[in-house]
Structure 1
Amino acid sequence: MNAVTIIVPIFGIILIGWAAAVTGLLSDRVSDGLSEYVFAIAVPALIIGTLTRPGLTGEIAWSYWLAYFGGAGFSWLCGSLVAWRRHGIGRQGAILHGFAASQSNTIFVGVPTILQAYGEAGAYPLFLLLAVHLPLMMGFATFLIEAEGDRPLLHRLRSLAWVLLRNPIFVALVIGIAMKTVGIVPGGPVKALLDAFSVTASTCALVALGAGLKRYRVLFDLPGALVVAGLKLVVHPLIVWLLAFHVFAMPAAYAGVATLFAAMPVGINAYLLAVRYKSETGLVAASVLASTLLAPATTIAWLMILGRA
């Protein structure tokens, strides 16, 4: 019942957002605006407010990152190899298949799910992983895709740095970690503002995700989408679970957060990257939708395995 209690509100809000978009209660403009608000204001406020909260402490365990990214790398490799065997998919398309199979929907689904499941114990490892996940995954994918171009290495790295510095989530993580390091704790009106925006983050993110799903078409390539969804929802968290619980040593909350983080559906960033490079947009969009539709069942299963049920 605990697993159901965690999952039903989260995916229920996504369903309500989708229904509101389909019936016309929410327009595409509202959905886009809500998504921009979540990325630019609400989630950055949540990150800064959480990281600077008094008493929020934890250790930096290299085994934690090795377990998560070991699973991500394995799932990425599997997704790319499967794509290589399909007719008409080139190098760029194979990279995007692998990226979709390993890129978690962290902001819209991961943050509310993990905080609901692990509470304070999961907050520090969650945002610690977010700080590394975004630049590493996006940076690696961008670098691989552009490696076949004729741009000098320095120009590629400069372009990647500029992309990250323009990302509000990344900037908020840097600010929050810096404030935590020097001991700055927001108070008074600043804390009140951060709290006011933070409480809206989860609900607005889930509504925006649900409304955005109306644009995706799962039938574009259902077999391919199901393969990517299977790698993302089952293979990725399975490898992380094996590494976190049976290979490396780390606190139980860290191992659980890493596994649940990996169990999230395909992230929106995979679709944005496909659109940017005009490759495999239909397949990646279908994978986002298929994995999100299947995620309630698989997330409940993982919550039970992790003992959060």
Structure 2
Amino acid sequence: MLNTFADISVIVLPVFGMVLVGYISARIGLVSERATDGLAEFVFSLSVPVLIFKTLTESKLPEAQPWGYWIAYFAGAFFVFAIAMVAAERLFGRGRQEAVIHGFAAGQANTVFVGVPLILKAYGEAGAVPLFLLIAIHLPVMLVAATVLLEGSHGFSRATMMRLGKALAFNPILLGIYAGALAKVVGIQAVGVPKQMIDLLSAAATPCALISLGLSLKRYGMAGGDLLPSALISFLKLIVHPAAVFALTMVFSMPPVWAGVAVLFAAMPSGVNGYLLAQRYGVGVAASTSAVSLSTGLAVVTVAFWLYILGVG
């Protein structure tokens, strides 16, 4: 038992330790707000897309669509999405649009800044393909669902759908996926100097993503004191979502690594996209902001728990 916990700590503590380094650096003023924005943009717009491109071009992709994998993950995601919406309306007396924000915060994970570093550390190259295949459709599916629900009460406009389509078409993460898939199909693989440049950029993704998350936590904090809704969102995100996915991975046949990646992906803390969507619509900002910080802090313990359940160490 002690060896198991020691093995798990080797996975979890360095990852969240780097987040803590980023947070302390921002807290003591070692890194400025301007640098925080720049590092986050570098990670999201360049380093992680290059890492995804590299992984997809160098890995063997599945010959058939892993439908059980998709169903297991997204059934769990929309299950907690629905619970959070109902709780927001009936327990906390929030309006329909704010309820959607709560649901989105509970159902979408911090895939880039925590998911990529932690899952790759847990499963190595074997987990890269299922991880990036899930990233490829995670944001589009969740964002489209949330936008449809948010806009539904007022009627859909052409401008809204155009804005959503443009956001998805030019999302840097998705561009990395498109480019990697195209290069794989055509048979293009980087060699020589281009490969060395790709390797350097992709290697920067993990440490920079973790430091960037730590820097951002100082900014978001526990804004607004909307603690009860954010606590429920965090519980749904860190416990209920991965538990539902774990149960479904035993129903649908898939390789153990794929099942483990789906569960860990679901166990990631609430992502900053919930806060960004709340800002855009002007509702649920306090709850979604607090959920990012609270779920990230609690994830140190809950991720270790799920690694233990999955037998990863």
**Which residue pairs with 1:137 in the alignment?**
142
TM-score, normalized by length of structure 2?
0.95
Give distance in 2, aligned partners of 1:90 and 1:61.
37
Partner AA of 1:7 in structure 2: V
Alignment of 1:23-34 (within 5 A): 23-34=28-39
Give distance in 2, aligned partners of 1:164 and 1:14.
28
**Which residue pairs with 1:244 in the alignment?**
249
Shift of 1:222: 1.5
Shift of 1:58: 3.0
What SS is found at the alignment partner of 2:107?
Answer: coil
**Which residue pairs with 1:35 in the alignment?**
40
Partner AA of 2:254 in structure 1: M
Q: Would the aligned equivalents of 1:274 and 1:281 in 2 still touch at CA under 8 Å?
A: yes
**Which residue pairs with 1:230 in the alignment?**
235
2:21 counterpart (16, 23, 36): 16
Partner AA of 2:284 in structure 1: E
Give distance in 2, aligned partners of 1:301 and 1:199.
27
Shift of 1:189: 2.1
Q: Does 1:52 align with 2:57?
A: yes
Give distance in 1, aligned partners of 2:53 and 2:105.
28
Q: Does 1:77 align with 2:82?
A: yes
Bigger CA drift: 136-145 or 289-298? 136-145
Q: Would the aligned equivalents of 2:245 and 2:263 in 1 still touch at CA under 8 Å?
A: yes
Give distance in 1, aligned partners of 2:93 and 2:83.
18
**Which residue pairs with 2:114 in the alignment?**
109
Identity over aligned pairs, percent: 47
**Which residue pairs with 1:257 in the alignment?**
261
Alignment of 1:271-282 (within 5 A): 271-282=275-286
Bigger CA drift: 196-205 or 135-144? 135-144
Shift of 1:155: 4.3
Bigger CA drift: 128-137 or 180-189? 180-189
Give distance in 1, aligned partners of 2:282 and 2:193.
45
Q: Would the aligned equivalents of 1:143 and 1:156 in 2 still touch at CA under 8 Å?
A: no
Unaligned residue ranges in structure 1 (runs of 5+): none
Give distance in 1, aligned partners of 2:258 and 2:139.
18
Partner AA of 1:222 in structure 2: L
Give distance in 2, aligned partners of 1:217 and 1:127.
29
Partner AA of 1:238 in structure 2: A
Q: Would the aligned equivalents of 1:93 and 1:279 in 2 still touch at CA under 8 Å?
A: yes
**Which residue pairs with 1:96 in the alignment?**
101
Shift of 1:191: 1.3
Q: Does 1:119 align with 2:124?
A: yes
Q: Deviation per CA, 1:258-299: give whole Å up to 9, x if none.
A: 000000000111111111111111110000000000001000
What SS is found at the alignment partner of 2:189?
Answer: coil
Q: Does 1:270 align with 2:274?
A: yes
What SS is found at the alignment partner of 1:7?
Answer: helix
2:10 counterpart (5, 17, 23): 5
**Which residue pairs with 2:176 in the alignment?**
172
Give distance in 1, aligned partners of 2:135 and 2:19.
22
Q: Deviation per CA, 1:103-148: give whole Å up to 9, x if none.
A: 1000000001111111111111111111111111111111211122
Give distance in 1, aligned partners of 2:92 and 2:184.
50
Give distance in 2, aligned partners of 1:171 and 1:86.
40
TM-score, normalized by length of structure 1?
0.96
| Aligned alpha-carbon RMSD (Å) | 1.3
Partner AA of 1:22 in structure 2: R
**Which residue pairs with 1:211 in the alignment?**
215
User: CA 1:133–1:36 in structure 2 vs 1: closer, same or farther (change >3 Å)?
Assistant: same
Q: Would the aligned equivalents of 2:92 and 2:229 in 1 still touch at CA under 8 Å?
A: no
Unaligned residue ranges in structure 2 (runs of 5+): 1-5
Give distance in 1, aligned partners of 2:221 and 2:203.
32
**Which residue pairs with 2:312 in the alignment?**
308
Shift of 1:2: 1.7
